[in-house]
A = this chain, B = another copy of it.
Amino acid sequence: MTEPESAAVDLEIIVQGAQEGKKQELRLWLRMLSTTKLVSQEIRRRLRNEFGATLPQFDLMAQLYRERDGLRLGELSKRTMVTNGNVTGLVERLETDGLVLRVTPDGDRRVTVAKLTAKGETIFGAMAVAHEGWLRDMMADVDPAIVSELWQDIGAVKSSVSNHLSGGDFD
C-alpha cells in the first residue's frame, strides 16, 4: 500500500493510562486528530481523483465562492487559517490554472484582491456538491441527533481553546 490505512492501531495509541479519569482531554484530542486526518485524507483523495484539485485549493475557492466580490489575501489567510506567505503561492497556482484572478484596487495599492473567474465558479460549484455528498456518505452511520450534538459540543471546545491561546488572542 502506498498510504497510511484504516488502522485499528493509530494515533490514539499514545494514551495509555487514560482510563483513570486523568488525561481525558488528551484522549479526546487524539481521537479528534485521528478522525480529522482520516476524513481529510479521504476528501483529498477524492478531490484529486475526481477533480484534479487539492484540499487547500478547494478551501480557498470555497471562501471566494461566498464572496463574489473577492477577498483580500490577508482576509483569505484568516478565513482559511493558512499563513500569508502560503496564500500567495496558492493563489498564484490557481491563477495559472485560470480559476482565480488577482486585482489591485485603485484606492490602495498595498492590497491584492483575489476573486473566482467564471470558470472557477463553475468548477467549484461541482466540487462543492460532490464534497457535501462525500461527507454525508462518510457520516451515514451516525445518528443525526448525535451529529447535531457534536456540533454543539465541539463548539464548546473550540470556544474554550480560543480563550486559552498563548498568543494573547482574546475577545
Interface residues of A (CB under 8 A from B): 2-11, 13-14, 16, 23-29, 31-42, 45-46, 49, 59, 62-63, 66, 77-84, 131-132, 135-144, 146-151, 153-167, 169, 171
Contacts and interface: CB of A to CB of B under 8 A. Distances in A.
Contacts of A36: 32-33, 36
A123 to B, nearest CB: 16
Contacts of A29: 39, 135, 139
A28 B81 contact: no
Given A28-B147, A32-B154, A150-B153, 19 more contacts: A4-B78, A4-B81, A6-B162, A9-B78, A10-B79, A24-B144, A24-B147, A24-B148, A25-B139, A26-B135, A32-B36, A33-B36, A38-B161, A38-B165, A137-B164, A138-B160, A139-B160, A141-B160, A149-B153
A156 B141 CA distance: 8
Contacts of A78: 4-5, 7, 9-10
